Amino acid sequence: MIPLRVGVIGYGYTGKIHAQAYLAQAGVRLMAVADSQSARLDDLPRGVRAYPHYGDLIESEIDAVSICLPTHLHCKIAIEALERGKHVLIEKPIAMNLEEAHGMLRAARAAGRALYVGMTHRFYPELREAKKLIDDGVIGSIVACHDCALENLGFLDLPPWYLERKCAGGGAALTSGIHLVDRLRWFTGDEVKAVAGAASNPYFGADVEDIGQMFLRFRGGISAQITMAFMREPHPLVCDLQVIGRRGSITVHTWRGYEVWSESGRRERAIYTCEAHRDKVLVGIAGEIGEFCASIFEGRAPWPSAEESTRALEVIMAYCCETPHLDGDSPAALVYTANALNLLTCWQINAADRLLLALPLFHVHALGNGLHCWLLSGCRMRLLERFEHQKAAGEFFDFQPTLFFGVPTIYTRLLETAPETARAIGEHMRLFVSGSAPLPAQVLEDFRALFGHTILERYGMTETLMNISNPYAGERRQGSIGFPLPGVSVRLLNAEGQAAAPGETGEVWLKGPNIFAGYWGRAEATEAAFRDGWFRTGDLATVSPDGYYTLSGRMSDLIISSGFNIYPREIEEFLMEQPEVTEAAVAGAPDGLKGEVPVAWIVVRGEFDPSELETRCRAKLASFKVPRAFIRVDALPRNALGKVQKHLLPRPGPTRASL
């Protein structure tokens, strides 16, 4: 058998892996490598010739060539190679635009040679096994998908329309998005009918360089969301590909393995034992090179075809260039799924879950999180008319949920559950989530000790749905709301309008596909809420050096005393740690000398000594943060979702003495 003679153009990181894969391929001989950077050619395999210019390699006696160059360079070279009768393999994407892609397709047809666009993901074992499980009907028919690639890449190969229009998400779309679109088409076996785009403009000095989201509707009715970003640091919420079916779901973690939730339960498969990034990439590249060579030997088109790669590029161009109607249908209905798809992926909600929902449906916590996640995941839900703590244990035992959404006051009442009952409830549960108001650190600790579960705290708003969440897998940090969800950009700006340093308090500004368009009929309020495309939440927060966000309160709740900023939540958290205090709220009271002073309203168990409580505060808090009065109340005024209504607190008296 005459060996297939091949060459590699571009001997950087990817080119070297191509060369390694060719050397291991039966019936193939690596003849030459071309690279304009002479230093790269110093360590060539024995017997492999070096060329400083790609044209010399194309003119040499080879049958096929891999082009491992930046995307904006490989089109011209690929056409030259095809015209000289060479089979061509290029790495994704096929081109920077559709005109280039169709030009290469025409050249391949005219020359009668193979044009192959390497799609490494189709050859990774975790994806191939997951695809077979889906084809075998393990999770039932597909309802929705979420694909995510948050990569530590930096800006790569930005096309002219990106540079001219500053189209956020463009760089990530061409590098990461192209293969995400392709594998969704592969897994669903369907074509994209409509695409809607949302992008967060790049901002520097933070961890995100470029980020965007796509919302897809397939011809068969499947909805899909794609989150893609270039990150300066690895992101803890990467969940890769989740496919949600009517009877379960599969989550594929690239270069790790996959998890399956189905009617028969949950199972996990870990595949990789190698740790080196290069070794993992080699698995996919070796697969695509094997397919490329086999197609040449067998005289057939490679899989997937270059036409399929061009179809994926069409979707990317529709996203980037705002031509979303691939089939003439409106994509407007796609956007509402963004929040639910994020939560299904990040909290691993699937059809096998059982959701016990006891929150009012007029609020986004129940509507946007509860109902939408139920509808999209296909899980089973029991909707309660209201939460009644006396009946809570019975509801848990009767329905045996795996998932529960609550507010801090609900979790506080659940702490009254008998220890043996709480443990029995915890055995059936998978996830408790808290939001709508800050979860006191002491409640989190007491709940973990009683139920055996660490509550996942997240942060959302009516205007934005969910923005930030503690990780499902990873540390759920006490007092923190966690990390920005995929596709959500967060800024913290101090009083001077500068980016807040780690540990410094700043206002939370948000941007992403989840942000509302504006307040209906209130143009002035809308204008005041947005600045340069960013939504100003009015919430205050800090961020730790490792990226965890912690809320400090509302700007309207900030107490300024003698020029010092006092954040009520810090004082409230400390008071809640005291054994006699069950609830606490701190607000500012007018003071003729200092402007404002902090006052605490508390609900206590039995009797309490105000002077003793003040002494403890002085031992742990700065003097200006010590409440000037402790006002005992039977209950704090709250709304239906448990948020304290501080404007309804009884006004304190004029004296400084504890009451």
The domain that contains 594 carries what CATH number? 3.30.300.30
The domain that contains 376 carries what CATH number? 3.40.50.12780
Q: Which burial class, exposed, middle or buried, applies to 515 when counting CB atoms under 10 A from its CB (0-12, 13-18, 19+)?
A: buried
Q: Are strands 223-231 and 87-91 parallel, antiparallel or unpaired?
A: unpaired
| Residue where one domain finishes, among candidates 297, 322, 347 | 297
Q: Which of 546, 566, 550 shows the shortest CA–CA distance to 558?
A: 566
Chain centroid offset of residue 128 CA: 23
Separation CA 237–CA 456 (nearest Å): 14
404 residue type, one letter: F
Looking at the structure, tell me whether residues 390 and 487 fall in a common domain. Answer: yes
Domain total for the chain?
Answer: 4
Rg (CA), the chain: 29
Looking at the structure, tell me whether residues 41 and 105 fall in a common domain. Answer: yes
Residue-wise over 339-361: b if at least 16 C-beta within 10 A, else e? bbbbbbbbbbbbbbbbbbbbbee
Instruction: Give residue 318's pLDDT.
Output: 75
> Is the residue at 302 inside a domain?
no
Write the CB contacts of 649 (distance below 8 Å, at least 6 apart in sequence).
585, 587, 601, 631, 633, 636, 637
> Is the residue at 654 inside a domain?
no
Instruction: Give residue 231's pLDDT.
Output: 59
Instruction: Give residue 535's pLDDT.
Output: 92
Separation CA 470–CA 405 (nearest Å): 14
> Is the residue at 161 inside a domain?
yes
Looking at the structure, tell me whether residues 391 and 450 fall in a common domain. Answer: yes
Q: Which domain holds residue 517?
A: 337-554
DSSP state of 177: I
Could you report the average pLDDT of every consecutive run of 10 residues in the chain (659 residues)? 92 93 96 92 90 94 93 88 96 82 94 92 93 94 83 50 45 73 93 69 41 78 77 57 87 89 83 82 93 95 91 80 42 51 82 91 86 87 91 94 92 93 94 90 93 95 89 88 85 89 92 79 87 90 91 84 84 90 90 86 90 93 92 88 83 53
| Residue where one domain finishes, among candidates 497, 529, 554 | 554
What Å distances lie between residue 160 and 168, 170, 180, CA to CA? 13, 10, 22
Looking at the structure, tell me whether residues 355 and 476 fall in a common domain. Answer: yes
> Is the residue at 657 inside a domain?
no
Looking at the structure, tell me whether residues 418 and 515 fall in a common domain. Answer: yes
> Is the residue at 524 inside a domain?
yes
**Crossing angle of helices 71-83/98-111, nearest 10°?**
20
Looking at the structure, tell me whether residues 575 and 510 fall in a common domain. Answer: no
Strand (E) or helix (H) holding 171: helix 170-172
Termini Cα distance of the chain:
97
Looking at the structure, tell me whether residues 293 and 277 fall in a common domain. Answer: no
What Å distances lie between residue 220 and 216, 245, 250, 345, 377, CA to CA? 12, 14, 20, 22, 17
Looking at the structure, tell me whether residues 508 and 643 fall in a common domain. Answer: no
Instruction: Give residue 53's pLDDT.
Output: 93
> Is the residue at 658 inside a domain?
no
> Is the residue at 655 inside a domain?
no
| Residue where one domain finishes, among candidates 297, 322, 352 | 297
The domain that contains 74 carries what CATH number? 3.40.50.720
Q: Identify whether the C-beta of residue 314 lies closer than 8 Å to the C-beta of residue 49.
A: no
Torsion of CA 104, 105, 111, 115, to 10 degrees: 80
Instruction: Give residue 656's pLDDT.
Output: 44
Torsion of CA 358, 359, 364, 370, to 10 degrees: 0
Q: Which of 60, 64, 59, 56 shows the shortest CA–CA distance to 21?
A: 64
Instruction: Give residue 209's pLDDT.
Output: 53
Looking at the structure, tell me whether residues 25 and 53 fall in a common domain. Answer: yes
Looking at the structure, tell me whether residues 8 and 111 fall in a common domain. Answer: yes
> Is the residue at 364 inside a domain?
yes
Separation CA 579–CA 135 (nearest Å): 57
Q: Which burial class, exposed, middle or buried, applies to 335 when counting CB atoms under 10 A from its CB (0-12, 13-18, 19+)?
A: middle
Instruction: Give residue 474's pLDDT.
Output: 80
Looking at the structure, tell me whether residues 380 and 491 fall in a common domain. Answer: yes
**Crossing angle of helices 568-576/610-620, nearest 10°?**
120
Q: Which burial class, exposed, middle or buried, applies to 5 when counting CB atoms under 10 A from its CB (0-12, 13-18, 19+)?
A: middle
The domain that contains 212 carries what CATH number? 3.30.360.10
Q: Are strands 4-9 and 28-34 parallel, antiparallel or unpaired?
A: parallel
Separation CA 381–CA 361 (nearest Å): 14
Looking at the structure, tell me whether residues 269 and 377 fall in a common domain. Answer: no
